[in-house]
Homo-oligomer: A and B are copies of this chain.
Amino acid sequence: MNKYSLPYNSMDAMWELIERLFPINRTLVNDGYLESLEIIREKIDLNILKYDSGMEVWDWIIPNAWNVREAYIKDSSGNILVDFDNNNLHLAAYSIRFSGKLTKSELLKHIWTLPGQPDAIPYRTLYYKTDDWKFCIAHNDLRLFNDSEAYDVCIDIDSKPGKLCIGEYYLPGKTEKEILITSYLCHPSLANDNLSGVAVAVEIMKNLAAIDNRRYSYRLLVVPESIGAITYLATHEDQLHKIVGGYVLTCCGDDGIVTYKKTYSGNSIIDKAAVHVLKNKYQDSSFNEYDFWPNGSDEQKYNAPGVRLDVGSFMRTPYSEFAEYHTSKDNLSFISKEKLFDTLDSILRTLYVIDNDEILNNNYKGEPFLSKHGIYQSTDLKKPDKQSICYIQRVLMMELDGLNSLLDIADKWNYSFDDVYDVSREFLKSGLVRIVESK
């Protein structure tokens, strides 16, 4: 992969995409989800895979489509107190159809609030339930209801077989081995979780498409969370051996430092490259490097037994650590262009390392006579500067033995991958070494 230079307009491109997608009501399977994919398709030539409701995918079943026509609560005077049209978080996803007149106490059994965050509307779902409905409102708005009143509830939804949709974009490289870049699109009006991940993922693919000489192939998957990942895996079992690993992107736009959640194995090239890049970019202390933990997003599915793909996850503040998570506060003002751009940059740097890491073997025995090959750099032997090209040459002369990859060598000797990679190009060009394996 040629060295990328991150176009500054990626920043605006990501923001514009998020702004357009934000208002749409999305869930696992519905019209809003497909509409959102079509908008992304304007940016990048997505292939849309479709799977029928009711289809068995491993241990799971694809649910029906769930679309909302209207949903509101009115008082007896006809005032609308809660209206889905105002905020699509008001109705828990996959609530059943309902209409009727309820007392306050009957109604409260169907209302979720967040007493600890009284002005925030919670985001909740009723996935895989078939007998309940719930409104989600700000705790402060409970004041609107009084005991002597009766309320008209209307939930006019449409639940019937539909199509689970997966947006896929495939960038071929020199080898069929591929790196997965994935995020999920099933949340309604929430910004950091998850539109930020989708926007960065799309922008990664646009940038990769513009770079020549990719070794690996890259595949973007935009899925409904969990069921979408399971569906893709279950319907592509014979293709999974091509996947080297990848990254789930989520919560990429908040103000926190970058977090890398490792794969289950914890020691794959996927992990080593990410940690290497973050250490070099942020100088150790200003990023989080966490071992795999067993709840979270689709990385659970990719790393699970029987699959065990090395898929890590890039985020900024982890989902469980910011108060705005899964509330109406996770909106456009919670994220920023600059942080989206910084996350994008970290991931592209990581992919650059993975794509260029390789194992070189020596065509020489002992020490090559560098000046004969036109690549000798003189040095002060007394106090050699460890950052000098000469010293890196000496490191490479010792290490390029067909066993250690360039990233291994950089990590062992505390160099940046770029430093080691650049000097190794001289060795390769001069014929002193040959590529043994592209890791």
Tell me the A residues contacting B by CB distance below 8 Å: 58-61, 128, 226, 229-230, 233-234, 264, 292, 294-295, 300-301, 303-308, 319-320, 325-326, 361-362, 364-369, 371-372, 379, 381-384, 391, 394-395, 397-402
Q: Which of B58, B364, B367 contacts A364 (CB 8 A)?
A: B58
Give the distance in Å from the alpha carbon of A58 to the alpha carbon of B365 in the complex: 7
- Are B367 and A230 in touch, CB under 8 angstroms? yes
Nearest opposing residue in chain B for A129, CB measure: B371
Q: Please give, as numbers and ranges, the residues of chain B lying within 8 Å of A399 by CB-CB distance.
A: 305
Beta-carbon contact of B398 and A303 below 8 Å: yes
How many Å lie between the Cα of A230 and that of B366 in the bound state?
7
Bound CA span A229–B306, Å: 47
- A40 to chain B: closest CB distance in Å? 25
The answer to whether B366 touches A306, judged by C-beta atoms less than 8 angstroms apart, is yes
Cβ–Cβ contact A58 & B397, under 8 A: no
Closest-by-CB residue of B relative to A128 is B371
Given contacts A295-B391, A307-B365, A398-B304, contact A59 B383 (CB under 8 A): no
**B401 and A365 contact, CB distance less than 8 A:** no
Which chain B residue shows the least CB distance to A381?
B295
Task: Give the docked Cα–Cα distance between A60 and B397 (Å).
Answer: 15
> Cβ of A294 and Cβ of B367 under 8 Å apart?
no
Having A59-B364, A300-B397, A307-B365, one finds 18 other A-B pairs with CB under 8 Å, namely A59-B369, A229-B366, A230-B367, A234-B366, A264-B398, A294-B395, A294-B397, A295-B379, A300-B398, A301-B367, A303-B398, A304-B365, A305-B397, A305-B402, A306-B401, A319-B382, A320-B382, A320-B384
Of A61, A295, A301, most B-chain CB atoms within 10 Å: A295
Most chain B Cβ neighbours within 10 Å, of A59, A366, A367:
A366
- Shortest Cβ distance from residue A414 to the other chain B in the assembled complex, whole angstroms: 12
A304 touches B397 (CB 8 A): yes
Q: List 26 A-B contacts (CB under 8 A).
A: A58-B365, A59-B372, A61-B369, A128-B371, A233-B365, A233-B366, A264-B398, A292-B398, A294-B391, A294-B395, A295-B379, A295-B381, A295-B384, A300-B367, A300-B397, A304-B366, A305-B362, A305-B364, A305-B365, A305-B399, A306-B366, A320-B382, A320-B384, A325-B382, A326-B381, A326-B382
